[in-house]
Structures are given as structure tokens and as C-alpha cells.
């Protein structure tokens, strides 16, 4: 049987035992295990690639754990794990007396005695409990590993030792866990310079669902060691906004590839061209690992909290503002004189002093929009908003003096039933469109001053057709702005 990135094979053995074979393609793991027919006893061995090269071993004993005995051997590029479950034992609740169990007069609950152990745990679990104590955990290990932890300084060689201690926690002066970075001890700790942008330009990243326009920056920094004569040049490429959708691991929710401020994604590469290839490779690898082969974004079903928009006030002690935001709907932030603002439902009658939040039709992200003349000042990640702007997960949003951190998950493209009329979000295009509208309809409009409640709010049909990435290239000089288009769904 296959499930996403794993394959499962069960082979029946004589006596009711089962041989289990598991292959995890994502982590390149192979697990072989044997269990009895009632799952009460089980042992397994897992072979997986090490993160670098390591030599050593470890023994972990933990009372009342799913697998109380765990052994690991680090053999160069591979790691071998062995674990045993043992027999849990069996408990039974005594039969009720004639007339049933008594009822507590104060609480009204039935009072039952605790279960009685009728079959004690197996020898393995009893031995672990005697060695480590009730509900305790102890680990003994000695490992020397050389690996690249993903930091820019490169490969480090580290020695770690744990002497019969609980490795799940650490207490200064009491824990018997020791670590020594041999690379730093021999060559000294690294010193890094600030990043320097040596090239910057717009690029298009092509994926199966379309092209994403974004800005790429080639950065360079120098890394040196006190007792090493050479200097390392580290180059990386940052892409923003990297709003390509990828499925989350073991979840039905989605996320953006960019997980930094401004939906920025950074890859290690020596040039922008190589960075584009590395970014595409990462996105396709994550989609295949956490979704399936040839995975592309699709509208997501309403699932738990994945469609919620949360605004967490920066002010300590203030409550988070949360409400559900679906495609085709608008949530309005209602200012109040007697307290912090709150989100109101889509059917609430908005006024020109409110700020709205809607879903982006292509990727299901969040867009904030406001009335340029009457709405309070809106700042997203330090940039003032003219009429509308993208809000990324963990963006800092300031609205009329109130500061929030945005929390949400993208929900994918809008379903076909949702029809939205959108305009280009570029402030220059919005201003030009407004001037043309005034010139075209000035003769037919009633020039009397409308009351505040007569001003139409910028609803879901405010936006124009936004391409993936929401960062269109600069328009050619003296070129007329394109007319707004109607988005007809995928």
C-alpha cells in the first residue's frame, strides 16, 4: 500500500506475527519491524541517511513510553535505529456490585474504583522502570558528527556526550550533557560581514500553473576564521514576493514558499539564474513530498481554522481579533472609541472610515483595501497603502495607530463559482483610472455632495486582475494604462 511519500508492506508470518516494511521516500528511510498479532510487542530497525557524517551511538530508556528502549548507531553516512515496545500488561475494572456503582451526592458522578492490574507488564518494561524510575527518561550517548546545519559558515565538526541524563531538558550546573565544536576550537569562531547586493532585477519563475513575477537580489557576504588564512565568499539569492503555494506537511492547509517578511524566499546560489533554478527545484520537491507528483494549487475545502484571518495586536495583553474569511467575502475592521477595533461580518453595512480585508483570487492570500480619501492610514511592513496592498503571513499592519501582526493561511485559488472584479493595485494605475473615470462620467453624475453613508465601499469588485506574485513589471514610458479586466476564475 502507498500513501503520499511512503510505502507500506505487511507480510504474515507463522504464529500470527507480522513482518512490516516501510519506505519513506521523502527522508529516504527504510524500516523493517516485527510485531505480534495483538500489537502488544513490537521491534523495528530503521536505516536512514545521516545529516552529514557521524560516528558513535546512543541508548535511551524511558518508562511508560511507546517504545521504552531505543538504540541508535551512527555509521558514517547512515544511521541505524533499533527500538522495542515490550508488553504493556492488562488492567480490568472490577465488576459493579449488586445495584450498580454508588453515585456521589455532590457531583452526581458514578464512583468507580481504579482498574486492577490482572496481567503485569512484560520483563522489558519492568526492567526499564526499575533502572530509570517511574515516568523517567535517561540517555547515554557519544557522537562525533561533521555536518552542514544550513548556516552560511558551512560544515562543522561537533562532539556531543550525554551521561545517563534526561536529554529532553537541560539545567545549568546539573545536566550531564556536553558539546564541543571542534571546528571552532581549531580555527576559531567565524566572523561574517553584512550582505552586499551585487545584482538586482525582475525575473519570472515558471511553474506548472503559470509564471510568477518577482524581484531577485543576488547577495554576497564574506566569512573568515581567526586561525584560517582563507576567506569564504557566500552568495545567496532572495526572491520577493515568492507567493508560490506548497502543501503543509501532514496537514490539509497550504502555505507560501516565502516564509520571511514580505513573503521572501532565500536560496544559496552563485547567480540569479542559478537561484531561479534552485527555487523551482525546492518548490517542486516540497509539492511532491508533502502533496503528490505534479501537485498544483486547487481551491481548498473549509477545514478547521485554515480559513481564518487573525490580527494580533502588538500591544501586550490585548486579545487577538479572529474571524473566518472566504473567497468573495470582505471583513471590515470597525474602529471604536471605547476600545480596540474589531472585525465585523461580511453582511455588516460598512462606511468610508473602515478598512477591508479580502482573499486574493489566484492564491487565496489576503489583500487589504481602503478609501484613499476617508479611511485611516494603513501601513503594511513599513510601506503606506494607497488603495490596496498584499498582506503576508506575519506581516506587520498598522491601521489608524493600531498595530497588528497578521496570521493566516492561504486557501488556494477561488472556486469557479466565485466571480470577482479586480483592478491593478499599482498606485499609479489607480490614479490614472480614477482620472479617466471622472472625465468620462462627469457629465452624467449628480454633482451634489453625498452624505457619508452614501459613499460606496470598495467591496470585492475593487481589485483588478492580479497575476501570480502581484508584482507586475514597470510599464513602458508614455504607454496608456490597460483597462481593468474581469477575472473569470480558473
Cell of 120: 503485569
Helix, coil or strand: residue 97? coil
Residue % of the chain over a pLDDT of 90: 40
Lowest mean pLDDT, pick from 19-23, 95-99, 254-258, 264-268: 95-99
Please state the domain extents for the chain.
40-92+112-183, 192-290, 304-490
Does domain 304-490 match CATH 2.60.200.20? yes
- Residue 318 neighbours by CB under 8 Å, 6+ apart: 340
According to the model, what pLDDT value does residue 447 have? Answer: 46
Mean pLDDT value of segment 9-13? 91
According to the model, what pLDDT value does residue 399 have? Answer: 87
Residue 169: CA atoms inside 13 Å, Cβ hemisphere, count? Answer: 5
Interatomic CA distance for residues 422 and 361, integer angstroms: 9
Average pLDDT across the chain, whole number: 81
Q: What backbone torsions phi and psi does residue 392 show, to the nearest 5 degrees?
A: -100, 160
Between residues 164 and 150, which one has the greater pLDDT? 164
Residues paired with 358 in a beta bridge: 330, 367
Q: Kindly state the greatest CA–CA separation across the chain.
A: 95
According to the model, what pLDDT value does residue 467 have? Answer: 44
According to the model, what pLDDT value does residue 418 have? Answer: 53
Q: Could you give the C-alpha distances from 14 to 9, 22, 85, 133, in angstroms and in order?
A: 17, 20, 20, 37
According to the model, what pLDDT value does residue 26 have? Answer: 67
Mean pLDDT value of segment 359-384? 88
According to the model, what pLDDT value does residue 304 have? Answer: 62
Most confident of the ranges 107-121, 194-208, 319-333, 378-392: 194-208
Interatomic CA distance for residues 369 and 392, integer angstroms: 14
pLDDT of 357 over the 70 cut:
yes
According to the model, what pLDDT value does residue 90 have? Answer: 87
pLDDT of 335 over the 60 cut:
yes
**Is there a contact between 356 and 370 (Cβ–Cβ < 8 Å)?**
yes
According to the model, what pLDDT value does residue 444 have? Answer: 44
pLDDT of 477 over the 70 cut:
no
Mean pLDDT value of segment 187-193? 93
Q: What backbone torsions phi and psi does residue 353 show, to the nearest 5 degrees?
A: -95, 0
pLDDT of 462 over the 50 cut:
no
Backbone dihedral region for residue 290 (phi beyond 0: left; psi -120 to 50: alpha; all else: beta): alpha
Mean pLDDT value of segment 262-291? 92
Question: What's the pLDDT band for 489 if we cut at 50, 70, 90?
Answer: very low
Cα angle for residues 471, 463, 456 (degrees, 5° grid): 145
According to the model, what pLDDT value does residue 348 have? Answer: 65
Mean pLDDT value of segment 60-64? 94
pLDDT of 464 over the 60 cut:
no
Nearest Cα residue to 74 out of 101, 102, 104, 46 = 46
Cell of 13: 508470518
The string of pLDDT tens digits covering residues 195-215 is: 999 999 999 999 999 999 999
According to the model, what pLDDT value does residue 116 have? Answer: 87
Instruction: Tell me which residue has cell 529516504.
Output: 28
Mean pLDDT value of segment 125-150? 92
The string of pLDDT tens digits covering residues 394-433 is: 899 998 888 899 999 898 888 876 544 443 444 444 445 4
Strand-strand pairing, 342-344 and 308-313: unpaired
According to the model, what pLDDT value does residue 441 have? Answer: 42
- Residue 196 neighbours by CB under 8 Å, 6+ apart: 219, 220, 221
Question: Would you give the DSSP letter of residue 339?
Answer: S
pLDDT of 474 over the 60 cut:
no
Mean pLDDT value of segment 75-104? 89
Query: How many residues are recorded in the chain?
Result: 490
pLDDT of 180 over the 60 cut:
yes
Mean pLDDT value of segment 107-116? 85
Mean pLDDT value of segment 305-315? 86
Mean pLDDT value of segment 342-370? 82
Between residues 401 and 164, which one has the greater pLDDT? 164
According to the model, what pLDDT value does residue 199 have? Answer: 95
According to the model, what pLDDT value does residue 34 have? Answer: 93
Amino acid at each position: 500500500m502507498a500513501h503520499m511519500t511512503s510505502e507500506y508492506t505487511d507480510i504474515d508470518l507463522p504464529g500470527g506475527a507480522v513482518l512490516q516494511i516501510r519506505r519513506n521516500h521523502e527522508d529516504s528511510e527504510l524500516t523493517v519491524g516485527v510485531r505480534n498479532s495483538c500489537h502488544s510487542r513490537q521491534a523495528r530497525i530503521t536505516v536512514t541517511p545521516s545529516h552529514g557524517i557521524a560516528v558513535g551511538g546512543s541508548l535511551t530508556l524511558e518508562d511508560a513510553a511507546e517504545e521504552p528502549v531505543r538504540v541508535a548507531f551512527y555509521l558514517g553516512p547512515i544511521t541505524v535505529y533499533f527500538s522495542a515496545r515490550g508488553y504493556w500488561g492488562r488492567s480490568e475494572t472490577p465488576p459493579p456490585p449488586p445495584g450498580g456503582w454508588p453515585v456521589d451526592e455532590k457531583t452526581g458522578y458514578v464512583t468507580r474504583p481504579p482498574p486492577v492490574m490482572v496481567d503485569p507488564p512484560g520483563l522489558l518494561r519492568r526492567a526499564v522502570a526499575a533502572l530509570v524510575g517511574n515516568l523517567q527518561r535517561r540517555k547515554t550517548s557519544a557522537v562525533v558528527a561533521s555536518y552542514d546545519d544550513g548556516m552560511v559558515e558551512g560544515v562543522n565538526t561537533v562532539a556531543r556526550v550525554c551521561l545517563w541524563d534526561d536529554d529532553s531538558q537541560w539545567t545549568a550546573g546539573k545536566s550531564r550533557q556536553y558539546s564541543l565544536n571542534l571546528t571552532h576550537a581549531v580555527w576559531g569562531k567565524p566572523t561574517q560581514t553584512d550582505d552586499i547586493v551585487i545584482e538586482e532585477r525582475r525575473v519570472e519563475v515558471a511553474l506548472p500553473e503559470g509564471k510568477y513575477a518577482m524581484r531577485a537580489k543576488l547577495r554576497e557576504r564574506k566569512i573568515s576564521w581567526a586561525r584560517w588564512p582563507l576567506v569564504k565568499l557566500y552568495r545567496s539569492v532572495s526572491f520577493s514576493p515568492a507567493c508560490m503555494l506548497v502543501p503543509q506537511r501532514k496537514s490539509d492547509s497550504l502555505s507560501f514558499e516565502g516564509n520571511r517578511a514580505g513573503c521572501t524566499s532565500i536560496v544559496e546560489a552563485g547567480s540569479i539564474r542559478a537561484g531561479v533554478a534552485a527555487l523551482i527545484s525546492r518548490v517542486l520537491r516540497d509539492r511532491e513530498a508533502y502533496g503528490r507528483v505534479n501537485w498544483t494549487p486547487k481551491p481548498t475545502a473549509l477545514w478547521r481554522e485554515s480559513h481564518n484571518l487573525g490580527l494580533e495586536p502588538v500591544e501586550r495583553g490585548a486579545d487577538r481579533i479572529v474571524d473566518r474569511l472566504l473567497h468573495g467575502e470582505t471583513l471590515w475592521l470597525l474602529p471604536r472609541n471605547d476600545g480596540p477595533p474589531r472585525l465585523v461580518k461580511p453582511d455588516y453595512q460598512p462606511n468610508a472610515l473602515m478598512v477591508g480585508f479580502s482573499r486574493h483570487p489566484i492564491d487565496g492570500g489576503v489583500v487589504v483595501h481602503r478609501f484613499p480619501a476617508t479611511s485611516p492610514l494603513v501601513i503594511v511592513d513599513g510601506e503606506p497603502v494607497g488603495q490596496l496592498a498584499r498582506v503576508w503571513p506575519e506581516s506587520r499592519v498598522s491601521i489608524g495607530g493600531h498595530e497588528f501582526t497578521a496570521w493566516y493561511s492561504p486557501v488556494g485559488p477561488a472556486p469557479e463559482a466565485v466571480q470577482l472584479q479586480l483592478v491593478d493595485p499599482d498606485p499609479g494605475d489607480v490614479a490614472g483610472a480614477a482620472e479617466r473615470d471622472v472625465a468620462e462620467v462627469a457629465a452624467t453624475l449628480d454633482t451634489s455632495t453625498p452624505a457619508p453613508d452614501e459613499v460606496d465601499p470598495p467591496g470585492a469588485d475593487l481589485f483588478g486582475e492580479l497575476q501570480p506574485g502581484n508584482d507586475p513589471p514597470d510599464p513602458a514610458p508614455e504607454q496608456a494604462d490597460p483597462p481593468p479586466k474581469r477575472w473569470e476564475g480558473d
